Amino acid sequence: MAHEIYRLREKLCNTPHLIHPSSFETIIDYVEKRCEDGEPGEAVEATSRYSYNQDLQVAVLNIDGPLTYKPVTMMGFDCGGTSYQQLKEDFSYLVESGAKTVALNISSGGGEAYQVFATARYMKELAVKNEVKLLSFVDGMAASAAYALASIGDEIILNEGSEVGSIGVVVRLLNNSKQLEKEGVQRIFVTAGDSKVPFDKEGNFREGFLADLQEKVDFLYDEFTEFVATNRSLSVDAVRATEAKTFLPEKALQLGLADSVMNSEEFYTYLADSVQRKENTMLKTKLFGMNNKEETIDMSVNMAQLEELQTQLSQYEAQLSTLQASLEEMGGVKAALEAALGEKETALADAQALVAKLEEEKVEQKLQARKDKLAAVTSADQVEALAASLSSLDDAAFSTVVGAMAVQAKALENSEMFTEVGDQGVEASVEDVAAPKTSTTDALIQARLQNR
C-alpha cells in the first residue's frame, strides 16, 4: 500500500532526531524516491536481532540501521532498522534467560530521539540489577542515538576504522511551498490559534515556530550531553566540545568516547575470555553466525597467552612441590616431637610413682621411729595403741610427750615403791611397779592432750 511510504516521510520530517546527517539524508532520499515513484519499494528482510548461547550465558544483541521508537513496516514487512520497543523486549528476554554477558553489536547512524534515553536507562538498570556485563562493540558506526545506546556499556570497543560521536540533535524541515506555487497549487490554511500553522503568509516558516523548535532542540541537546557525560564519566563541557562531530578510533580514545580498539576476531577472543571459555571458533560460529569455512581466527594472541599461562602453571607446580616437601618434613618433625613427648610423659609417670613410694617409705620410717621411742618409755603391749593415738601430733609435740613420759618413768624407778621390794619379792614387786607406771603414763598423756 503506497500510502504507508507517505506516512513514513511525514514521520521523518519536522521531528527531532538523534541521527548522523549523512545517514539521515540517505533515508530521506530513499523515501522521497519511493514517494515520487508512487511505489512502496521492496520490503527489507529483517536480520537476526540477537544470538544467545545458554551454556556460555553470553548473548549478542544487534543494533543495526535506523533507530525508531516503534518498528517501521510496509505492507506487513519489516523495513529494517531497530526499534526501541523491540530492543527492550529482546534485552529483557535475554536477561530473564540467564545471560550474564551481553554484547551490543552496533552498526547505526542513529535515529528517532523519542524514547531513546528511556530505553537506554531501562537496559542499564536491568543489567545492574541482574549483574549483567554490557559490552558495546561498534562495527562501523555508532552515531547520535546509536552512541547514546553504546554509552551504557561497561566498555565501548571500536572495530578498526569505526566512527563514534555525532552527539547532537537535528530537525529536517520540509517546506514545499515553492514547489506547490511552481506547480500552480494554492495552499490555504484556516486555523484557530496563532501557532497552529508553521508558515507565514508568504509560505515561509514563522520565526516563532523556528524559535519554539530551537528551544525543544536545545532541551534535547542538554539531556543528550548530560546522559553521555554521566555514562562515560566525562564533564558536560567535554561532551559539548565534540560539537556533534564523529571521530575515528584514535581520537575517540583521546576524548574518552571509547575504551579500546579491536578487530572483529580480537573482539570475539575478548568476549570468549570474559566468560572463561577457550572455544573461540565455536563462540564465533554460535553467536555471530559466521559459518564460512574459509574464515579462520588468528590464534597468535591466544598462543602467547597460553604459553604465559603454561609458564605460570609450571611455576605454581614447582611451588606446590616445595610446599609438599616442607609439609612432609614438618610431618616428620611432628612425629618425632610426639614420640619425645610420649617418652617424657612415661618418665614423668615413673618419677611420680617413685616419689609416692619414697613418701610412703618416709611415713613408715617416721612411724617406726616413733614406735621405737615409745617402746623406750612404755610397755611393749602399749606401743601400737599409743602410736595411733599420737599420730596426729607434729614432731615437736610428740617429742614433748615422749620426754614427759621418760621423766615420769625415771621418777617411778627411783620411787620408794621400787626400792622397798628387796630380795624376797622381786617378781611381784616388778608387776606391782609396772601397773602404776602404765596408769601414770596414760594419765600424763591425757593431761597433755587436754592442755593442747
Return d(Cα 264, Cα 284) in angstroms, integer.
10
Yes or no: say if 108 and 66 are a contact pair by the CB < 8 Å rule.
yes
Question: What is the per-residue pLDDT for 443?
Answer: 55
136 CB contacts (<8 Å, ≥6 apart)?
A: 103, 104, 106, 142, 149, 150, 151, 152, 153, 155, 156, 157
Is there a domain that residue 369 lies in? no
Residues 416 and 277 reside in one and the same domain: no
Is there a domain that residue 163 lies in? yes
20 pLDDT band, cuts 50/70/90, is low
Is there a domain that residue 75 lies in? yes
Return d(Cα 444, Cα 377) in angstroms, integer.
13
41 pLDDT band, cuts 50/70/90, is very low
Answer with the one of 280, 298, 316 that is the final residue of a domain: 298
Residues 287 and 396 reside in one and the same domain: no
32 pLDDT band, cuts 50/70/90, is low
Return d(Cα 255, Cα 412) in angstroms, integer.
130
Is there a domain that residue 261 lies in? yes
Q: Can you tell me the mean pLDDT for 326-347?
A: 87
Answer with the one of 247, 269, 298 that is the final residue of a domain: 298
96 pLDDT band, cuts 50/70/90, is very high
Return d(Cα 54, Cα 263) in angstroms, integer.
25
Is there a domain that residue 93 lies in? yes
Return d(Cα 305, Cα 272) in angstroms, integer.
13
**Does residue 1 surpass a pLDDT of 50?**
no
Is there a domain that residue 345 lies in? no
Q: Can you tell me the mean pLDDT for 143-150?
A: 94
CB atoms within 10 A of CB 100: 16
Residues 125 and 34 reside in one and the same domain: yes
Return d(Cα 106, Cα 116) in angstroms, integer.
14
Return d(Cα 271, Cα 302) in angstroms, integer.
13
**Does residue 282 surpass a pLDDT of 60?**
no
Q: Can you tell me the mean pLDDT for 269-278?
A: 72
Three cell numbers, residue 163:
566512527
CA angle 311, 315, 320 (to 5 degrees): 145
279 pLDDT band, cuts 50/70/90, is very low
pLDDT digits (tens, 9 = 90+) for 200-235: 777 777 788 888 888 999 999 999 999 999 999 999
Helix H or strand E encompassing 18: strand 17-19
Return d(Cα 102, Cα 94) in angstroms, integer.
8
Helix ranges (H only) for 378-425 are 383-389, 395-413, 416-419
Question: What is the per-residue pLDDT for 13?
Answer: 55
Count how many domains the chain has: 2
CB atoms within 10 A of CB 151: 23
Return d(Cα 170, Cα 144) in angstroms, integer.
10
Return d(Cα 347, Cα 355) in angstroms, integer.
12
Question: What is the per-residue pLDDT for 42?
Answer: 43
258 pLDDT band, cuts 50/70/90, is very high
Question: What is the per-residue pLDDT for 234?
Answer: 95
**Under DSSP, is residue 225 helix (H, G, I), strand (E, B) or coil?**
helix
Is there a domain that residue 339 lies in? no
pLDDT digits (tens, 9 = 90+) for 439-451: 455 555 555 555 5
More confident site: 64 or 421: 64
Return d(Cα 115, Cα 86) in angstroms, integer.
12
Answer with the one of 298, 323, 343 that is the final residue of a domain: 298
333 pLDDT band, cuts 50/70/90, is confident
When the pLDDT of each residue in the chain is averaged and rounded to a whole number, the result is: 78
| Placement of cell 574464515 in the chain | 295
Question: What is the per-residue pLDDT for 262?
Answer: 95
Residues 290 and 389 reside in one and the same domain: no
Angle between helix 207-232 and 116-129 (nearest 10): 20
**Under DSSP, is residue 150 helix (H, G, I), strand (E, B) or coil?**
helix
Yes or no: say if 103 and 58 are a contact pair by the CB < 8 Å rule.
yes
| Domain span at 417 | 378-451
Question: What is the per-residue pLDDT for 36?
Answer: 59
Three cell numbers, residue 260:
579500546
**Under DSSP, is residue 72 helix (H, G, I), strand (E, B) or coil?**
coil
pLDDT digits (tens, 9 = 90+) for 108-141: 999 889 999 999 999 999 999 999 999 999 999 9
Helix ranges (H only) for 256-299 are 264-274, 280-288
Is there a domain that residue 367 lies in? no
Residues 255 and 388 reside in one and the same domain: no
CB atoms within 10 A of CB 179: 10
More confident site: 171 or 278: 171
Q: In this structure, what are the phi and psi dihedrals at residue 235, rounded to the nearest 5 degrees?
A: -80, 155
Q: In this structure, what are the phi and psi dihedrals at residue 275, rounded to the nearest 5 degrees?
A: -110, 15
Residues 289 and 427 reside in one and the same domain: no
Q: With pLDDT > 70 as the criterion, what percentage of the chain qualifies? A: 73
pLDDT digits (tens, 9 = 90+) for 295-311: 444 444 456 677 778 88
Return d(Cα 275, Cα 270) in angstroms, integer.
9
Q: Can you tell me the mean pLDDT for 241-246?
A: 93
pLDDT digits (tens, 9 = 90+) for 385-399: 888 888 888 888 888
198 CB contacts (<8 Å, ≥6 apart)?
A: 14, 205, 206, 209
Q: In this structure, what are the phi and psi dihedrals at residue 352, rounded to the nearest 5 degrees?
A: -65, -40
Yes or no: say if 24 and 169 are a contact pair by the CB < 8 Å rule.
no
More confident site: 379 or 452: 379
Q: Can you tell me the mean pLDDT for 363-389?
A: 87
Residues 292 and 384 reside in one and the same domain: no
Residues 183 and 278 reside in one and the same domain: yes
CA angle 415, 421, 425 (to 5 degrees): 150
CB atoms within 10 A of CB 127: 20
List the CATH number of the domain containing 121: 3.90.226.10
Question: What is the per-residue pLDDT for 448?
Answer: 52
Instruction: Kindly report which listed range (31-45, 73-87, 166-180, 213-227) carries the lowest average pLDDT score.
Output: 31-45
Return d(Cα 205, Cα 149) in angstroms, integer.
33
| Placement of cell 605454581 in the chain | 316
Return d(Cα 107, Cα 137) in angstroms, integer.
9
280 pLDDT band, cuts 50/70/90, is very low
Three cell numbers, residue 124:
542499564
Beta-bridge partners for 246: 165
